[in-house]
Amino acid sequence: VSGSGVSGCEFTEEGCYSPNIVKIDVGSVVIFSNTDSVSHTFSSGFPSDDIIGNEFNTGMLSSGDSAEWTPETVGKIPYFCMIHPWMSGTVIIVPETPDD
């Protein structure tokens, strides 16, 4: 979200990432895009974890940069920005639904 490098977005309904909760099928491609004017990361885990980025870690993304990740297992993956730890979200990965 634009301006999310400044604390406060976590108190809004939209949160600091847009969307801050996303549900996708396993095997789908997730694109993490930085549309803000400052650098951010998309790092799986919680800021308080000893080990982060086990599922994904984009590293530092400058404004306009993006990164991709393809989940291989079903589950809920919390994520946050290592530079701005108040920024957090969740990726919910569900089994792939067959086409009808």
Helix (H, G, I), strand (E, B) or coil at 78: strand
User: 78: cis peptide before it, omega within 30°?
Assistant: no
pLDDT string in tens for the chain (100-residue length):
777 877 888 888 778 888 889 999 999 999 999 999 999 999 999 999 888 999 999 999 999 999 999 999 999 999 999 999 999 999 999 998 776 5
- CA 57, 61, 67: angle at the middle one, nearest 5? 60
- What does pTM read for this prediction? 0.86
